[in-house]
Structure 1
Amino acid sequence: MTEISTTSPGIGMIGAGFHATSNILPAIVLAGIPILALATRDTARSAAALRRFGSSGRPFDSATALLADPGVRDVVIVAQPADQAQLALAAIRAGKNVFIDKPLGCTAAEAQQIATEADSRGVIAMVGFMKRYAPAYRELKALLDEDELGTIRSFELSFGCDSTPFCADDAEYLLLAAIHVVDLVRFLFGEVEVAHTLSSSSGPNVSLAITVRTRAGVVGTLALSGLPSYSSETETLRVSGDQGWAVVNEVSRLTTHLQKPGDVASWRALSEVTTTRAPAESAMSGVERDLQLRGFVGELQAFRDAVDTGVSPSSSARDNVRTMQLWELLAAGARASLAK
């Protein structure tokens, strides 16, 4: 367990691209974390981004300059995937606690190097798997941990988005788009010991059918699509247990169905209980609703809490190594399927 002792006064931000300005920077503000500094490749652009998010922090023209500032101890990195590993290593070697948007590493070996470096330097290194911090999935995780559904036997997960503008093939799709649900499987059901991947993809048009079995004996299917027809992202997870089932729809709605044991036949009594938990629909929420429900605010709050307490979060760099190992297994299965 990583231990640090002092309280974080705020963060330095590396990156101000679309994802950073649409999701991460607004979530930092909503999490109540001061933005002390921001770095892009241009000081004027950095200053403009700081002003946009109400910060009077220091603008920098490079990540190197920001990391050299002793007044910045905690760093959030949202850069191009190919750049993030080296930026993360530079931040860790500068003694910074670091939050890195996924993917942290483009191979399991690269992820392992970063995790080892963070451990040796005694800093917090967290990966932005925001679905772990989405309220619906956190409530589902609590149900599973408390055995509310009985022994979990299986799950069915479907995810679709139009990844064709930024993913060239199955491996890129699994790394840059579907990695969130790949990680979610580990978070909810434990480590995967067997996986079979079938692909009918053609270049950037991705369609995958995956079956898995976890170490705990849970079997599951993942239907993953990266196609232009999914211009509206869609996601559904169904979990089946001996005493009940649960469904999370579009990240924001959790339905549970419980079969209450009794002394008489189930059809003679009110033995079935179905409950749906959903957020209120209101114009008052503004942009905050989406950032809260998808887990962006929660993951930044978790980073702040990890820094303040010195306790590594669940989506640590060390844990990320196993997600990257699973990604490599699934990507290899997709390549083998297409080769047949």
Structure 2
Amino acid sequence: MPVAVIGLGDIAQKAYLPVLAAQPGLDLRLMTRDRAKLDRIGDTYRIPQRFTDLGDLIDSGVRAAFVHAATDQHVAITERLLTAGVDVYVDKPLDYHLDPARRLTDLADRLGRSLMVGFNRRYAPGYVQAKERPRDLIVLQKNREGLPEAVRTLVYDDFIHVVDSLRFLVPGEIEQVDVRWRKRDNLVEHLVLTLSGEGFTALGIMNRVSGSTEEVLEVSGGDSKRVVVNLAEVIDHRGQPTVRRRGDWVSVARQRGIEQIVLGFLESVRSGKTVTAHDALRTHELCELIVKRVGE
């Protein structure tokens, strides 16, 4: 199956290419405008089909594409791919604004093509297993060190993972949304999102001046608690805590859900099942609400 990888930055190199290159039956094709990078990575993975022009790549007959280009290029690239009849997996976010994201979702619907957004945490084992637990209270912290940022890029580039993970984990319909934040010199230093509904509360916290880079999920209810640290370590609390760590032979791609979401997308393409971006669009809508409340 001919599959394109468009954009060969860190995320493509570290997370996606190792998974894709290991899959049998794929005819991989690489595209980036940087010829030196294209040849270096093509040589590393022994991939002969290399392109610097999107039109030439499409004309080569690709059936599916993974788009890892810069966010401000997502819409233009994805529109051309969908229009050409190519199923598309694209890194989050679809765009930094809601209307273009909605336009892409509608276009995929009209053309009957798959459009999947890369919310890999929905496939990460620690988070999937957390969804099997009582979840009266959910707390997800995703902190950084010395990285205050303008609200739109902070929310759409990074906090979007918190938003989508909470939406994935909540056990019922969200009835109330609350946003709290602190800004300094128009840069957001911390952001707190509260989602609540019947019988549950979910807190999403990001502190960009926390002094630590970490991601910690806690779900609790029914007199028990599960903690997932950096997607790798799982600690169950019911009386004495028990700890499970990522196995020595478990890859980071599998631990973070990259392998599972990639294989899921490829299987949908092979089987002809259409994947829609409607649920991902709801996450983008909530991100836009957060941006509007914080103010640019």
| TM-score, scaled to structure 1 | 0.78
2:16 is matched with 24
> In structure 2, the residue corresponding to 1:212 is in which secondary structure?
strand
Please tell me the residue identity of whatever aligns with 1:180: H
CA drift at 1:184 = 0.5
Separation in 1, partners of 2:46, 2:196 = 47
Tell which structure's C-alpha radius of gyration is larger: 1
2:99 is matched with 109
Please tell me the residue identity of whatever aligns with 1:19: I
Change (3 A) 1:294 1:172: same
Change (3 A) 1:76 1:225: same
CA drift at 1:80 = 0.8
Which of 149, 152, 163 is the aligned partner of 1:171? 152
CA drift at 1:243 = 4.7
Change (3 A) 1:228 1:253: closer
1:59 is matched with 50
1:216-264 deviation line (CA, Å, top 9, x unaligned):
542122221223733xx20111112225322211111223345xxxxxx
Structure 2 residue runs of 5 or longer lacking an equivalent are none
Structure 1 residue runs of 5 or longer lacking an equivalent are 1-8, 259-271
Preserved contact between residue 96 and residue 153 of structure 2 (Cα < 8 Å): no
Preserved contact between residue 101 and residue 281 of structure 2 (Cα < 8 Å): yes
Alignment of 1:41-190 (within 5 A): 41-56=33-48, 58-70=49-61, 72-141=62-131, 143-144=132-133, 149=134, 152-162=135-145, 164=147, 168-189=149-170
1:261 is matched with none
Preserved contact between residue 31 and residue 300 of structure 1 (Cα < 8 Å): no
Alignment of 1:244-323 (within 5 A): 244-257=224-237, 275-280=242-247, 282=248, 285=249, 289-312=251-274, 316-323=276-283
1:193-212 deviation line (CA, Å, top 9, x unaligned):
32221111224452112222
Identity of aligned residues (%): 26
Alignment of 1:209-220 (within 5 A): 209-214=192-197, 216-220=198-202
Separation in 2, partners of 1:123, 1:102 = 18
Separation in 2, partners of 1:304, 1:24 = 13
CA drift at 1:109 = 2.1
Please tell me the residue identity of whatever aligns with 1:173: L
RMSD of equivalent CA atoms: 2.4
Change (3 A) 1:325 1:193: farther
> In structure 1, the residue corresponding to 2:33 is in which secondary structure?
coil
1:324 is matched with 284
Separation in 2, partners of 1:275, 1:229 = 27
CA drift at 1:278 = 2.6
Preserved contact between residue 30 and residue 297 of structure 1 (Cα < 8 Å): no
Aligned length: 294
Preserved contact between residue 204 and residue 226 of structure 1 (Cα < 8 Å): no
Preserved contact between residue 85 and residue 105 of structure 1 (Cα < 8 Å): yes
Separation in 2, partners of 1:45, 1:25 = 14
